[in-house]
Amino acid sequence: MANKPIVAHWLVAFWAIGLLLSAHSCSPTKQASQTHPTDATQKLESPTGEVASFKLLLEVREGKCVLNYDGPFKGQVETELLAPCEFLRDPNGYVESRELKNTEQNGGGTYSVIVVIGGPPANYGHSDRYMKNGCGSKIRTISLSVRGIALGSLGTGFDICPTSSFDEKIFTANSRHI
């Protein structure tokens, strides 16, 4: 008979400890409560680069990629690509570009072409150091010169990462003379 109260006390103690542990697991941790909700987005840097005396910056606005440029001309252009967005890059991490020649009927001279990669992410699950959550399914070429900026055609159905290697045709087929 003396054992029944002792067993009852142990059961109540175990129950109380279990209740405290479960209540503690539901409360926010100290680390989480000190983290500001925008800290994660502030750590992500917008893609940048330089091509043909233009400083380039890709931003996401309302889920779409916007190219900001500063050089012979300053401004921004909506690419019509969905986020995530990134530039096609060379093995050293620089923005990949091609120097193309205008025909005489297009005023002669040269212009540079870059490729912007956008989403939605491709279905095949490829990723790289620039697009860690899946590489892009769409691309857009953008021509840059001292005469201005021009959007090339939109390419779809890709599974393309910023560090993917490309045939020269990707720059020439979708680009626009400027």
DSSP symbol at 107:
T
pLDDT, residue 166, reads: 77
Nearest-Å Rg of the Cα atoms of the chain is: 27
Q: Distance (Å, rounded) from C-alpha 5 to C-alpha 10?
A: 9
Q: Which two tokens stand for residue 29?
A: 């941790």
pLDDT in tens, the chain (178 residues): 555 555 444 444 444 444 333 333 333 333 333 333 333 333 357 899 999 899 999 999 999 999 999 999 999 999 999 999 999 999 999 999 999 998 766 677 899 999 999 988 887 777 888 888 888 999 999 999 998 999 999 998 888 889 988 778 888 887 888 8
Q: Which two tokens stand for residue 132?
A: 């860690």
Residue 121: is the preceding peptide bond cis (ω within 30°)? no
pLDDT, residue 2, reads: 53
Burial 41-55 (b: 16+ CB within 10 A, else e): eeeeeebebebbebe
DSSP symbol at 105:
G
User: CB–CB of 174/152 below 8 Å?
Assistant: yes
Domain ranges of the chain: 3-34, 39-173
User: CB–CB of 110/102 below 8 Å?
Assistant: yes
Helices (H), the chain: 3-26, 30-34, 39-43, 169-173
